[in-house]
Amino acid sequence: MDLKSIKGIGDKSAALFEKLGVYSVEDLLEFYPRAYDCYNEPEGICNTDAGTVIAVKGKIASSPQMAFGNRFKILSAVIRDEEGTAFKAVWYNMPFLKGKLKTGAVYIFRGKISYKGQNIIMEQPDIYSIGEYDKIVNMMQPVYRLTKGLSNKLVTKAVRSAINEYIDDNDYLPGEILKKYDLINHKEALINIHFPTGKEDRDGARKRLAFDEFFKFIMVLRQFKERDNGQSNEFVISRNELTDKFIKTLPFSLTEAQTKVLAEIEKDMSSKRTMNRLIQGDVGSGKTIVALIAMIDTALAGYQAIMMAPTEVLARQHYEYIKKTVSDNNLPFEVAVLTGSMGAAARREESGKIKSGKAKIIVGTHALIQDKAEYDNVALVITDEQHRFGVKQRETLAFKGKNPHILVMSATPIPRTLAIILYGDLDISVMNGMPSERLPIKNCVVGTDYRPNAYRFIENEVKAGHQAYVICAMVEESENVEAENVVEYTEKLRKAMSKDIRIEYLHGQMKGTEKNAIMEKYAAGETDVLVSTTVIEVGVNVPNATVMMVEDAQRFGLAALHQLRGRVGRGSAQSYCIFVNTSKAKSATQRLDILNKSNDGFYIASQDMKLRGPGDFFGIRQSGEMDFNIADIYTDAEILKNASDAADGIENGDIIIKADEADRFDMEISKCYKKANDKINL
């Protein structure tokens, strides 16, 4: 449904909403707050920490004064709280308030506190009458992700109208499911996630909405699976002599785990049925080489193999590595690459090689499928560090009529019981164990005062011929700010470090070609320190890098931090990870301590799950791979199991859908199915 059908949203605000990824009324309803603001009872202003936002009941003590600064008109008034403490309220560019603020009048003032010498200042306070404030006190107000020109007030209003105008009380979920899994009604959940009156409300809403996400996902996955079941193998591929020879020339011998997983893959590819397999292996366990061997087998059998990566940086890296390896070993085929940022000429050349079948191994981003590239005979499709579930179908459909083997590689450590649900359509290979000559990464969690030492430490590692990453403070509000942050931090670092240290930066707002160039320079050892956002979180392999320093570490999910840490410890040298904890909260220290003590992804995930309750869902960025909107596979594992159980119940008739519920239910599920299908057929 068109966003503009909502009262108050015209072309201009619709365009702004699009910037936030909100294109329809449905998107808006699912545009959940990123945090909540709580309007506390008014309190005394005495002893309030600078930076805190508080509400104070106060009397205007003297008539407001206007001053003219360079850029602002500044209005100020002295106010006395109920205990008699005086403070100064200051407003910029709001001269019209002057007439409103009468000496002796009592209001609730709510704003941020700062200090100027002995004086208490309240900046830009909102002003409420006692009655007005009574109505909102203790309510949680939603705080949304915003973009320039779009205010929180406007988003709030739009969401409110969307709920009022478009959502009725009829739930698509059958009553029996709601009862069995203790879920609230859908409309109630939407109201309570956007406008909760308290934490309990919000948690109940969240539980219901997370259930929905999982449940719909599982239902769609099952429909896909049913449709694609039992494909017979059109591409029987077995181990080639040249592959054996290739494995012997590797600079290392395969680990036991690699050998085991490779055997499972080769058994699949030579069997009667098409392969649909997930490799789950911790960061650094060596998945790439396993994938490459499967691709070489495929190429030597005369077919094409495709490898897709979620980012341009990662795709480039795989391409460079594979191309070099193939040519070093004189293997009798070409390697091609396709990514979004390639120029027209290069693209034409690569496409030609792909279409003619000259290129047998093809590496790229999703451009490989989305641009309707033409292939000769694809028999194997590999997705590395994939962003979404249910990928298998998307890849399959892209090769209409033919069913290639599918291999999905993931470093996200999900407990087996959950993996079986989430990757319901795939067989699972677990690749545990690291290459043996690796030294375990040494970790430390430090406060901000340790920074100078960390910089010296990095300098010393660089002097010893190694490289380092510094991951920059994360900014939730906007990607633009995040980019600015990286640039600023880089400046700071250049000043703090000795001149001959070569420091560069990388962030998500840079163009694809620019990112590639920076990354290639770093991989070639021409940059010593790379300052970056989490764009390098996934997959990047520069074995010469030995230090990972993460600023504001407490703001990342443990899974993401584990991924980041996985960028070092990839070679034979000792590597180090420095987590800078900028918070004093005990919970932050506790969580980081888990990482400090262990380098094992599965262990970390299980501990994380224990520490974080389902309530802790804001302010922590999840690992990109599991991008449900509100649900979190770790902390919501129980809900995930319930959703799977409900899907089972419907399948085997244990859960009865009443006649008057069936239409709504079927309609909603087929809508989801269609949506997923549309995505596939881009």
Q: Give contact residues for ligand ADP (rule: CB under 6 A).
A: 252, 254-255, 258, 281, 283-289, 411, 435, 541, 543, 566, 570
Evaluate whether 482 touches 508 at the Cβ level (below 8 Å).
yes
Smallest separation, CB 543 to ligand ADP (Å): 5
Nearest to 546 by CA among 472, 436, 411, 442: 442
Structure tokens at 489: 């931090």
CB atoms within 10 A of CB 24: 14
**Contact partner, 591, from ligand ADP, Mg ion, none, Cβ < 5-8 Å per class:** none
174 binds, among Mg ion, ligand ADP, none (CB under 5 to 8 A by kind): none
Q: Count CB neighbours of 586 within 10 A.
A: 8
Partner touching 404 among ligand ADP, Mg ion, none, CB below 5 to 8 Å by kind: none
Among ligand ADP, Mg ion, none, what does residue 281 contact (CB within 5–8 Å per kind)? ligand ADP
539 binds Mg ion (CB under 5 A): yes
Residue 284 binds which one of Mg ion, ligand ADP, none, with CB within 5 to 8 A depending on kind? ligand ADP
Residues with Cβ within 8 Å of 250's Cβ and at least 6 positions away in sequence, in order, are 289
Token pair for 189? 């959940």
At 421 the three-state DSSP class reads helix
Give which of 638, 634, 600 is closest to 620, Cα–Cα.
Answer: 634
Indicate which of Mg ion, ligand ADP, none lies near residue 255 (CB less than 5 to 8 Å, by partner kind).
ligand ADP
Q: What are phi and psi of 560, to 5 degrees?
A: -65, -40
Residue 92's binding partner among Mg ion, ligand ADP, none (Cβ under 5 to 8 angstroms by kind) is none
- Residue with Cβ nearer ligand ADP (292 or 342): 292
E-only strand ranges, 294-413: 304-308, 334-338, 359-364, 378-384, 405-410
How far is CA 20 from its chain centroid? 15
Q: Are residues 359 and 334 in contact, defined by beta-carbon separation less than 8 angstroms?
A: yes
Question: Of Mg ion, ligand ADP, none, which one does residue 285 interact with (CB within 5 to 8 Å by kind)?
Answer: ligand ADP
Sign of the CA dihedral running 479, 484, 486, 489: negative
Q: Which is nearer to ligand ADP, 33 or 284 (CB)?
A: 284
d(CA 550, CA 564): 8
Residue 252 contact among Mg ion, ligand ADP, none, beta carbon within 5 to 8 Å by kind:
ligand ADP
CB 440, min distance to ligand ADP, A: 14
- Taking the complex as a whole, the smallest distance from the CB of residue 384 to Mg ion amounts, in Å, to 6
Is residue 364 part of the contact set for Mg ion (CB under 5 A)?
no
Distance between CA atoms of residues 339 and 238, nearest Å: 30
Query: Given the complex with Mg ion, which of 313 and 529 has the nearer CB atom?
Result: 313
Tell me the HSE value of 54 on the side-chain side, using a 13 A CA sphere. Answer: 21
Output 45 or 468, the one with its CB closest to ligand ADP.
Answer: 468
Residue 111 interacting partner from Mg ion, ligand ADP, none (CB closer than 5 to 8 Å by kind): none
By beta-carbon proximity to ligand ADP, the closer residue of 192 and 288 is 288
In this chain, which residue has its C-beta nearest to ligand ADP? 286
Look at residues 461, 39, 541 and name the one whose alpha carbon lies nearest to residue 284: 541
By CB under 5 A, residue 281 contacts Mg ion: no
Look up residue 337 and give its DSSP letter: E
8 Å CB contact between 326 and 333: yes
Can residue 569 be called a binding residue for Mg ion (CB under 5 A)? no
SS3 letters for 240-296? CHHHHHHHHHCCCCCCHHHHHHHHHHHHHHCCCECCEEEEEECCCCCHHHHHHHHHH
Q: Quick one: which segment of 355-363, 466-474, 533-541, 649-657 binds Mg ion (CB under 5 A)?
A: 533-541
Cα 101 off chain centre by = 46
570: partner contacted, choices Mg ion, ligand ADP, none (Cβ within 5-8 A by kind): ligand ADP
Which is nearer to ligand ADP, 481 or 524 (by Cβ)?
524
- What is the nearest approach in angstroms of ligand ADP to the Cβ of residue 590? 27
By CB under 5 A, the count of residues binding Mg ion is: 1
Closest distance of CB 197 from ligand ADP, Å: 46
For the CB of residue 112, give the shortest distance to Mg ion in the complex, in Å.
44
**Shortest Å, Cβ 572 to ligand ADP:** 8
Closest approach of Cβ 425 to ligand ADP, in Å? 22
- The residue type found at 494 is R
Partners of 471 in the beta sheet? 532, 550
Q: Distance between CA atoms of 26 and 33, rounded to whole angstroms?
A: 15
254 binds, among Mg ion, ligand ADP, none (CB under 5 to 8 A by kind): ligand ADP
Residue with smaller CB distance to ligand ADP, 570 or 591:
570
DSSP at 472: -
Closest to ligand ADP by CB, 281 vs 390, is: 281
Scanning 185-193, 386-394, 532-540, 630-638 for contacts with Mg ion by CB under 5 A, the matching segment is 532-540
**Least distance (Å) between residue 407 CB and Mg ion:** 13
Name the residue whose CB lies closest to Mg ion.
539
Binding site partner of 146, from Mg ion, ligand ADP, none, Cβ cut-off 5-8 A by kind: none
- Between 194 and 570, name the residue whose CB sits nearer to ligand ADP: 570
The minimum distance between CB 284 and ligand ADP, in angstroms, equals 5
Of the pair 175, 435, the CB lying nearest ligand ADP is at: 435
In angstroms, what is the minimal distance from the CB of 611 to ligand ADP?
25
Please answer whether residues 359 and 350 qualify as being in contact, where contact means their C-beta atoms are separated by less than 8 angstroms. Answer: yes
| Number of CB atoms found within 10 A of residue 484's CB | 14
Q: Which residues fall within 8 angstroms of residue 491, CB to CB, at 6 or more apart?
A: none
- 381 sits in the region (left: phi over 0; alpha: psi -120 to 50; else beta) called beta
Contact yes or no for 166/1 (Cβ under 8 A)? yes
Nearer to ligand ADP, 54 or 536 (CB): 536
Nearer to ligand ADP, 174 or 624 (CB): 624
CB of 22 or CB of 290, closer to Mg ion: 290
Binding site for Mg ion (CB under 5 A): 539
